[in-house]
Structures are given as structure tokens and as C-alpha cells.
Structure 1
Amino acid sequence: MNLCTDQLALMLAAPGQLVSVSYLAQDGVVAPLQEAARALPANHGLAEEVYLLQPDLVLAGRYSTVATVAMLQRLGVPVIRFEPENSLDDVEASLAQMGAALGRDAEAQAVIARFRQDRALLATHAAQVRAGAEGPRAVLYSARGWTGGSETLSGDILRAAGLRNLADELGLAWGGMVALESLLIADPDRLILGQPGHSPEGWSEARALLHHPALRHSRAYATGVTANDRDWVCGTPYVLGAIARLIDGTAP
């Protein structure tokens, strides 16, 4: 019932083991494994629809569909809740937890081993690109001015790419809102924008800030904007793709 647990389950489950995934898992804008998800019935996190599926186990995020989870537990349906990943190390922990939940420990350990190997290769690549030089100052800037600090998964992605996170300079280790004026005064070297798309109605108030003329005329914007795409959304091995693009996109 959660986009991110869906991704982990789709990576590890045996054929036929999953009976439903959340509707968000079928959205290619936010879900890397949308094709596999589209082969399964979608649910909208409603207790009635999930209960009627008669699952042996429900996988949910810690903070998602709280009322539904509580109702399913009262009805005797087993539920395992996953904590959000705040670091690359947490990705490994969630993979191991999902492997145990699905009885797919060997498969989970194989994915973890590949993740560790690819992560080490990226670390070597980042060190070669930086060649001992201090990394550029970068800022993550999403809808309504939200940014992620060093204690978040997005912050760890920046760190792995050898970038310095502006949020930490602003005292936002766990993330928070940054006024556009504060961002412009700080004058970062690199800008990573949340997806600046529009709502189906044609305009999104939440993302309007990402289209502001002052931002578009900033030095960081002129240098080249990186998109905070679907590989950033969940704590899965796909985050390594985001790291790789950041390293290559900010090379001297």
C-alpha cells in the first residue's frame, strides 16, 4: 500500500507472490518499476479493497494509510510497516527486511551485494572526478521551497556524489523550507529541482516557485539544472543512478 514498499517488493517477490500494489507504483513519473506494477491489480490504500483481496500479509510504510493499517490489524490481517530510508545504508536494511518478510532472503542478499559493489564503484568514480577538490555547493529545491539536508536520503545522495549541501549551511540537516530570497543570497553552484511539471489542471501552486523568474535567472540555473526524478523518490538501488548522473553532471 506504499509506493516505496511496492518497489522493494517488486524487486524481490517470487512470481505470483504479490496480489496488488498501490496505484502510485503504476505511475512512471514516480515509480521505476511501473511496467511490473501494471501487471498487477492496483489498490488505493482502502481497507475494504485490501481486505477483500484476502492477503496473507500487507506491506505498508510507517506513515502511510495509517487508518487503513489500524483497521486491517483489528481485522486480524498481518501488516509489516517499513520505516522511510534516510541514507544509503538504510536502503540495505530495507532490502533485508523485505527479503525476510517475503521469505526471499537469498534474493535480497544478492541485490544487496550488487548494491554494495555498485556503490563502491561510484565512490571511486566520484573521488576520481573530484581529484581532491572541494565539491560544488548544491541545493535541492522542491515544491513550496522544500529542501533535504544531510540527515535525509536525498542529502546522502548529494554526499555520495561529492557535493556540499546548502541545507546544512542553513541549519536544515533534516530538511525544511527555504525562502527563494535565502536561496538566491546563498548563491549555490548547482541546483537540483523537484519535478517542475504542472498539475493536470494546467497549473500547480505547490510547484509555481520552481518557475519563478528570479530562480531562472540565477547563476546556478544558468549552469544547468538537474532534475530530482523518480530515482530519488524511494530508498531502492535506483538511487545509484541519481548519484551517477550528479557526479557526471557536476564534473569540472
Structure 2
Amino acid sequence: MALVAFCLVPASAAQAQDRPSRIVSVNMCADQLLLALADRDQIAALSWNAPRPALSYFADKADGYDLTRGNAEDVIVRKPDLVLAGPFSGGPAKAAMRRAGLNVEELGIPGTPQAAADQLETFGLLIGQGPRGAALAGELRDAFAPREMQGNRKLRALYLQRRGIVTGRATMMDALMRAAGLENALEADGFARLDAERLATVDVDLLILDGQGLTEDGDAADQGAAMLAHPVLAARFPPSRRVVVPQAETVCPGPSLVRALERLREAAASVAPR
């Protein structure tokens, strides 16, 4: 289970006085946590993805902030007291920042709702906003708390992304499905790829889409989503058997998961089994 890569002690008055005041994020998911928890004057710059609605859940809050593409020179010149980065990309840039004496912290990628809530708490402490982090973590835990499900059979759902990529067990989307009272139709762990013929025969009540490659009416707009225009699939999965959970609500595990879960619960309550 991947958690934030930093370790923290409980917040204190001294920590509050040392609250970072020039934070630079070079990671889209760090952007989301900052926009959810930080004071505006704490943020010196966000990553260039922060204002993109297709990826950033808090894109509307990113207006007016300086943006950076994360190269070392652009970050160092801003003289941040904290740099937030991801665990995988930008290795040479992160190394250069550290050689320049900057405090660079890397965020892990939570794999479960509980891990996402833990990360919110830890992140809040890191930026001197412990109470806010704890409050949002509590909201996330409450949203995913077990509920009594109605009905005799769980609806079978499939999360379909561009070019036939589907999501199986042991993933955050699988956790979302289970919390919404849905059964994941892909029984394997991880990810797989289905062609149109296989998708036409799989036992699925509800198709979950991320909205990428679709028009406002839900039609395929490019080759990535073209299989949804197949006559058999269009008939088998009409709009009433589809729900769009925007990618911005799931790509970064955090506060946005609450809204994604609400969408799935609403769909589960409105769709009848086949």
C-alpha cells in the first residue's frame, strides 16, 4: 500500500509558526491537496495541470496562481520552503532541487480509501493545516463507511476507459464500486483490455465511463472511444445503463473520491438488473 513518502510528528504551536509559506507543487495530485487544504498565501506555484478541468478536480480554485512545469531552474528561482513532487517522474529535477538545498517531499499514491484518508491527515500536518486535513479525512472515511445495501442482487458494473481498458479488483475504482453496492464484472486484479466482441458478451448491468473521448451527449468523439459507437454496444449500453464519473474525480485519490462515490450510488439506485 503506497502512502505519502514523508513521516511526520503531531502538530504543535511551534510547527504552526513554522508553517511553510512558499510551497511549490510540481505534481498534479499535490495540487489537489494544496487547493483543498492550504491557505492561498502559502502557495507560490502549482503544476501546469492544476487549471485543467479534465484532470484537476479543483481546477476552478487554481485561477490566479503561478504555474510551473517542474524544471529545476523554474522551481529554484522561486525560493520555496517546500517543494511537493510525485514519486516517479522528474528524478533529475528533484535531485537538482535537493542539491540546491530545497526541501523536496514526495507523495505516494494511495491504493485504498483508507490510505487516501491517511494521506490527507499527514499532508495537513506537513503544511501546517492539521485540523483541515483531519476534517477532510473524516469526511472521506464517513463516505466509505459500510452501508446496508438494498436489493437481492448487486448490479454488475464495468469501468471502461479509452481503447477498451477495463479496471479489475484491488484498485481504487473497485473500492468505489464496492462502496456503492456494485460488483466489479472484471474478476481479475489490476487492468485488462477488452475488444468490442468481448464487451458485447460480458455480464454487465452498468457501464462506468470517465468521459474522455465523449461528446456532451455521450457519443464517441474520437477513436479512443469509438467502440461505444458499435451498434451492438450502443444497444446493449444505452444512456440509461451508463454513468460518467469524470477522470478528475478519480485520477488523484483524495477529497474528490466522495463525489465519485455519490455518482456511483446514484446510478446504482436508478439502474435495474438485466
Q: Normalising TM by the smaller chain, what interval?
A: 0.7 to 0.9
Q: Is the 8 Å Cα contact of residues 188 and 220 (structure 1) preserved in structure 2? A: no
Gaps of 5+ in 2: 1-25, 216-220
Match of 1:58 in 2: 83
- What's the secondary structure of 1:77's corresponding residue? coil
Q: Is the 8 Å Cα contact of residues 137 and 166 (structure 1) preserved in structure 2? A: yes
Q: Does 1:131 align with 2:150?
A: yes
Distance 1:185 1:34, change over 3 A: same
Q: Is the 8 Å Cα contact of residues 245 and 263 (structure 2) preserved in structure 1? A: no
**How many residues are aligned here?**
240
Match of 2:211 in 1: 195
Q: How many angstroms apart in 1 are the aligned matches of 2:93 and 2:138?
A: 35
Match of 2:102 in 1: 77
Q: Is the 8 Å Cα contact of residues 114 and 141 (structure 2) preserved in structure 1? A: no
Distance 1:16 1:211, change over 3 A: farther
Gaps of 5+ in 1: none
Match of 2:29 in 1: 4
Q: How many angstroms apart in 2 are the aligned matches of 1:30 and 1:67?
A: 25
Match of 2:20 in 1: none
How far did 1:19 drift? 0.7
Q: How many angstroms apart in 2 are the aligned matches of 1:212 and 1:24?
A: 33
Q: How many angstroms apart in 1 are the aligned matches of 2:47 and 2:179?
A: 30
Match of 1:143 in 2: 162
CA offsets per residue over residues 16-38 of structure 1, 9 Å max, x none? Answer: 11111112111122222112211
- What's the secondary structure of 1:226's corresponding residue? strand
Distance 1:148 1:68, change over 3 A: farther
Q: 2:47 aligns with which of 15, 19, 22?
A: 22
Distance 1:5 1:213, change over 3 A: farther
Q: How many angstroms apart in 1 are the aligned matches of 2:229 and 2:115?
A: 33
Q: Does 1:234 align with 2:252?
A: yes
Q: How many angstroms apart in 2 are the aligned matches of 1:222 and 1:110?
A: 36
Aligned-partner residue type, residue 245 of structure 2: N
Q: Does 1:152 align with 2:171?
A: yes
Match of 2:137 in 1: 112
Match of 2:196 in 1: 180
Q: How many angstroms apart in 2 are the aligned matches of 1:145 and 1:15?
A: 40
Larger mean Cα displacement after TM superposition, 173-182 or 150-159:
173-182
Q: Is the 8 Å Cα contact of residues 140 and 257 (structure 2) preserved in structure 1? A: no
Distance 1:106 1:136, change over 3 A: same
How far did 1:222 drift? 5.4
Q: Percent identity?
A: 28
Match of 2:241 in 1: 224
How far did 1:89 drift? 0.9
Q: How many angstroms apart in 2 are the aligned matches of 1:72 and 1:211?
A: 48
- What's the secondary structure of 1:20's corresponding residue? strand
Distance 1:222 1:103, change over 3 A: closer
How far did 1:209 drift? 3.8
- What's the secondary structure of 1:250's corresponding residue? helix
Cα RMSD of the aligned pairs, angstroms, is 2.4
Structure of greater Rg = 2
Q: Is the 8 Å Cα contact of residues 158 and 207 (structure 2) preserved in structure 1? A: yes
Q: Does 1:165 align with 2:184?
A: yes
Q: 1:35 aligns with which of 60, 63, 68?
A: 60
Q: How many angstroms apart in 2 are the aligned matches of 1:67 and 1:150?
A: 34
Aligned-partner residue type, residue 142 of structure 1: Q
